[in-house]
Structures are given as structure tokens and as C-alpha cells.
Amino acid sequence: MRRLDIIDGMRGYFLVFMLINHLVFVGGYWLVEINHRQLAFVEDAQGFVFLSGLLIGLVYARKMLKYGRWEGSKKVYSRAFELYRYAMGLVIAVLLARMVLPGGYEAWWNWLGDTSFSDPTRLVAVATFIFQPTFMDILPQYTVYMLIAPLVIWLVIQGKWATVLVASFIAWMAAQLGLQTIVTEPLNQLFMGTDDQGVRVSFNMLGWQVIFFSAVVLGTLTAQDKIDWDYWLSPKRRLLPKAALAFVVFFVPLRVATAHGLMPDFMIGKFATMEIRADFGPVYLVNFLAVAYGVAWLVVAGPAHENRIVRAVGNVFNWVFTLRFLQLLGRHSLHVYVWHVVIVYAVYYVDQRTPELSQLTKTVIALVSIALLALPAIWRERDRFFEDGRLLPGWFAR
């Protein structure tokens, strides 16, 4: 199994759990509680952004090395423009649906505010990513990062990877200190709408860029064969896996305490300043580093480790990430992500327009939605899945 296939499986895994987390029902539903985020300050969006950056570095660094800087850069910019089209297309589609569906305005107000085609100021804010409707926020930040990625990739190719990482860390620190408000506050007043919303974003791009561009650096160095992954992810490694485990274990009770309101008031104030998700605060950064390395080590080194427990855990991770269904989703992650937004908005509309659903009904809807995630991927690989009009068997298997 090629490691790129494993990465596709991981991206598919994150897409499935993003869908589960983004489905919103009146009264909630139990399936959303079965998630790794209940035990660590690590979520699907972080993994998705990191793996996207890693693949950007891997793929487009090779193109730059083969075709030159400007040809490689043009391919990245073309991808960024594609992402922008999808982002705007999603907004247009939802606004059109809001106009024609009964009660659409009220059903999606919490997610769209007063956004409509009759408000040019709000449309400008949407087009410039200043106002991002709920669950449509990964594409905008990904698009912005893609515009910067060619320069980052070229700097790393030129051997300036340390400069890139330092600059990325400084930008992350700026986010923790709230320096972006120098720009965002005037913009918030300028674009303030009738719904008292101006700037609306879920992710501070200065904070979240640290995982994207650190991944771009790793991907670019890997494309140049400048990282010996067999050394860093060897079964003989002891210190780094143990350190990663120590950090994860340290944060588990803290995550449980914050998730269930068990942390004392005299602690929560201080802790909360370090755990701001929108800024990708220090708690999230440290957790992500530990979990990312730990999972990578278990996937690569786990199955060959001398300890049977480590082998078992490593084999479980490999089994999950080699499921064909997840790898299918991961190979077409952009289109599946866009489609997942459509599913989430459709389910939310139905839920808002009907009496409160039972837990069984919500679970069935969630499972059907997961299956429907594969539709754009199947369509894009239809020649592989269909023969004489029949779906080929075995695509859910390993």
C-alpha cells in the first residue's frame, strides 16, 4: 500500500467525521459524540488542512522541479481559482435555494444571516471572504493559502525552509495576540449588515496557517528527498513516540473536563485564553503536533513494532485508513467537501421544517448522508465502478 493511499484514507476519514459533526438537529444526536475530539483538542478540520498542505507541497514541488517556478506556480494558482469558483458556487446555490424553498429564509438564518442577492455590500463581503456562511469556511482559507503556496514552495526548494517556518510561527503568534483586529475591526464596521454582522469567520487565517504551511514545507522537502521518513518513523524510535503519548495523556483529562463542564471556574478563565479554537491556540497546536506525529508513527512503525499492543494499534489504524470507501472520498476530497456542505444544508432545512426527530431517525439520516458523500467521487471514477451499467462490487472493502 503506497503512503499516498494512506493519506487519501486519512482525508476520507476526516471528511466522514466532518459530516457527522456538521449535521445539526434540534435536540442534538448521539452519533456526534463518538469522535476523537472528545479525548483531545484535535479535530477533523485540522487534519484535513494539514494533509491538504502536505499534498500541495508534494505535488506542486515536483511540478516546479520539473517545469520551473512559473509553470509550477501557474498550476497552483489555477487550483486556487478552482477552489474560489466552488466557494462562490456554494453560496449562490444556497441563496437560490433559500429564495425558492418555503421557509428557507428562516430555516437558514442562523447560518446565513440576512445575506441575499439584494444586498450588494454583503455580496462583496462574501466574495472577498470577509463574511463566510456557516460550514463554508474551509474553502476560503484554503484558497488564500493556495495563493501564497507557490512562494512558500519555491523558498523551500531554495533551501529557505527555516525562514518559512519562522515566518509562519510569527504569524501564528500575531493571531494569539489578536493583532489581526487592527484590520478586521475597521472591516467589521464597514461591512456591518442589518443582521449586525460584518466580519464573520470561523478560522483565524493567521493562526490556522501554521499547520498548512508547516505541512507544505514537509511535503516540499519530501518531494526533494530531503527527509528520511524511515528514520523518523522507525519502530526503533523511542523518545519521540513516548513524548507524543505523554502530551496526549496529559491533555485527555483536560479535554474531558472542558467538554463536560467539569473544570473549576478558577481554572477555566486562564485555560480558555490558551484554548481558543478559532485562533488555533497553544493548546490546539501542542495537541496537534503530538497526535499528528503519534498517528504517523503508529501507521508506519506500529505494524512492525516488537510490542504486541503497539502492533495491534498500528494494524487498526492501517485497517481504517486503507478502507476503500475512505480512500475513494480522499481522492476527490475537494468535490466531496463541497457536496458535504450541500448535504448539511439540506438536512438542516428538513430538520427545521419538521417536528423534532427521534434519535433513531437522526441516526439513519446521518448514516445515509455518509453513504451519499461518495456520489461525486463515484461519478468522477464512474469508468472504474460501472461496467455495462452495473456497479462493480467490493468498493467498500479494503
What digits encode the pLDDT tens for the residues 104-126?
999 999 999 999 999 999 999 99
Residues β-bridged to residue 391? 386
Greatest CA separation for the chain: 67
In 3-state terms, what secondary structure has residue 279?
helix
pLDDT in tens, 1-18: 466 788 999 999 999 999
Average pLDDT over residues 355-382: 93
Predicted confidence band at 387 (pLDDT cuts at 50, 70, 90)? low
CB-based contact 386:392 (threshold 8 Å): yes
Average pLDDT over residues 121-138: 92
Average pLDDT over residues 12-37: 88
- Radius of gyration, alpha carbons of the chain: 22
Q: Kindly tell me the burial class for residue 232, based on how many C-beta atoms sit within 10 Å of its own C-beta (0-12, 13-18, 19 or more).
A: middle
- Its sign, for the CA torsion 253, 247, 53, 4, is negative
Could you tell me which residue, 365 or 262, shows the higher pLDDT? 365
Could you tell me which residue, 175 or 68, shows the higher pLDDT? 175
For residues 363 and 368, give the distance between their C-alpha atoms in angstroms, rounded to a whole number. Answer: 9
Average pLDDT over residues 156-170: 96
Predicted confidence band at 396 (pLDDT cuts at 50, 70, 90)? very low
Could you tell me which residue, 118 or 40, shows the higher pLDDT? 118
Average pLDDT over residues 210-232: 94
Determine the residue type at 323: L
State percent of the chain over pLDDT 70. Answer: 96
Q: Is the pLDDT reported for residue 42 higher than 70?
A: yes
- The pLDDT value recorded for residue 261 is 79
CB-based contact 326:320 (threshold 8 Å): yes
Determine the residue type at 199: V
Q: Output DSSP code: residue 199.
A: S
In 3-state terms, what secondary structure has residue 177?
coil
CB-based contact 97:104 (threshold 8 Å): yes
Mean per-residue pLDDT of the chain: 90
In 3-state terms, what secondary structure has residue 103?
coil
The residues near 104 (Cβ < 8 Å, ≥ 6 apart) are: 97, 98, 349
Distance linking the first and last C-alpha atoms of the chain: 11
- Delimit the domains of the chain by residue range: 3-391
Phi/psi at 390 (nearest 5 deg)? -115, 140
Pinpoint the alpha helices (H) of the chain.
3-22, 44-67, 69-100, 104-107, 109-112, 120-127, 138-157, 161-176, 181-190, 205-223, 229-232, 239-259, 265-274, 282-300, 308-321, 324-331, 333-352, 359-372, 375-380, 382-385
Q: Output DSSP code: residue 34.
A: S
